[in-house]
Amino acid sequence: MALSIHPDRYQQHEDLELRKMIYAIYKRMTEGYRVLTEPSDRRAYDEGLQQGQTRLMRTQCKVTAFKRAEDGIEHPKARQFYIMGQDAMRRQDFKGARLNFNFALNLSPDHPVVVAALGELDQKEQK
């Protein structure tokens, strides 16, 4: 299901409202998956169901931080470029890392995760 409505499949679609709706549905699906696969979130969700709540709100979760840094990047292409930049940094390919982080920053301007990655890259390049 997630593959069939993945937002990347609809990036070129001319109907902006349709793209927004697809992204909202996909985002809700991935949220549900994360809640149901994380034991502490699942317990909180099950408790909420008994009280009539149909959705676990992030404020109810004991852990509010993202599991991975890229989870905080909402734009799917920016997240992809960020991941590629991290992979390049692990390979010591600083030029490739900078290129990918800059692509991510263009899609998600001033995103703190990407800005921090660029700062880390600057430090590694100075060594």
The H or E element that residue 117 is part of is: helix 112-126
Mean pLDDT of the chain: 84
Convert the pLDDT of each residue in 45-57 to its tens digit. Answer: 888 888 888 887 6
Residue 20, both tokens: 């927004």
Residues 126, 111 share a domain: yes
Nearest to 121 by CA among 101, 107, 105: 101
Whether pLDDT at 95 is above 90: yes
In the chain, how many domains are there?
Answer: 2
- Whether the model clears a pTM of 0.85, i.e. scores above it, the answer is no
32: domain range? Answer: 1-64
Residues 29, 40 share a domain: yes
CA atoms of 46 and 35, how far apart (whole Å): 10
Per-residue pLDDT at 46: 87
- Mean pLDDT confidence for 50-75: 68
Rounded to 5°, angle at Cα 4 from 3 and 10: 100
CA atoms of 101 and 5, how far apart (whole Å): 26
